[in-house]
């Protein structure tokens, strides 16, 4: 008897939050569902943070993830962006904690290395590998969604789920 894991990958941003649920095994990963919460750029944090919370609760109740992965916050020159992303990450981490879902955090280099073979991989190389691993063909997805898929695959590969 094998355990079936639904792995939620999340790429939090200021006004866009990519998400993806991957299932299957490391040898045969399968995309269950993915998307991107896309809010207008000038939406206030008092408006978009509760939206992230509610949308993530809906994703959790619909797809029942057993584990989640999120990108670690990395240093940026724009402090305003770092603060906004940190707020978004906080809401995501709180929502996952409330649902009792274990969270694994990875640096961008770890994600790139795990999915594409080297921490110096470009976004295009990571996207190409995500397409190949999940048999996505030419599906049109936003960068944020590809990032969430790469995060979910990283959890699946590194945790051998």
Active site (catalytic) residues: 11, 71, 144
Q: How far is CA 108 from CA 33, 55, 58, 153, in A?
A: 22, 24, 27, 13
What is the pairing mode between strands 29-38 and 16-24? antiparallel
Determine the distance from the C-alpha atom of residue 138 to the mean position of all C-alpha atoms in its chain, rounded to a whole number: 20
Integer Cα distance of 121 and 154 in angstroms: 14
Q: Give the count of beta carbons closer than 10 Å to the beta carbon of residue 77.
A: 6
H helices of 99-137, in order, are 108-116, 123-134
What is the pairing mode between strands 16-24 and 7-11? antiparallel
């Amino acid at each position: 008897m094998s355990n079936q894991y639904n792995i939620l990958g999340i790429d939090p941003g200021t006004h866009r939050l990519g998400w993806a649920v991957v299932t299957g095994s490391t040898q045969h990963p399968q995309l269950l569902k993915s998307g991107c919460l896309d809010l207008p750029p000038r939406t206030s944090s008092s408006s978009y943070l509760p939206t992230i919370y509610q949308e993530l609760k809906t994703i959790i109740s619909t797809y029942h993830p057993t584990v989640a992965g999120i990108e670690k916050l990395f240093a940026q020159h724009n402090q305003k962006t770092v603060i906004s992303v940190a707020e978004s990450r906080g809401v995501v981490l709180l929502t996952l904690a409330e649902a009792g879902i274990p969270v694994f955090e990875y640096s961008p280099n770890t994600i790139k290395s795990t999915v594409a073979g080297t921490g110096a991989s470009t976004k295009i190389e990571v996207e190409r590998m995500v397409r190949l691993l999940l048999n996505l063909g030419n599906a049109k997805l936003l960068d944020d969604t590809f990032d969430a898929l790469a995060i979910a695959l990283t959890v699946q590969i590194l945790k051998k789920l």
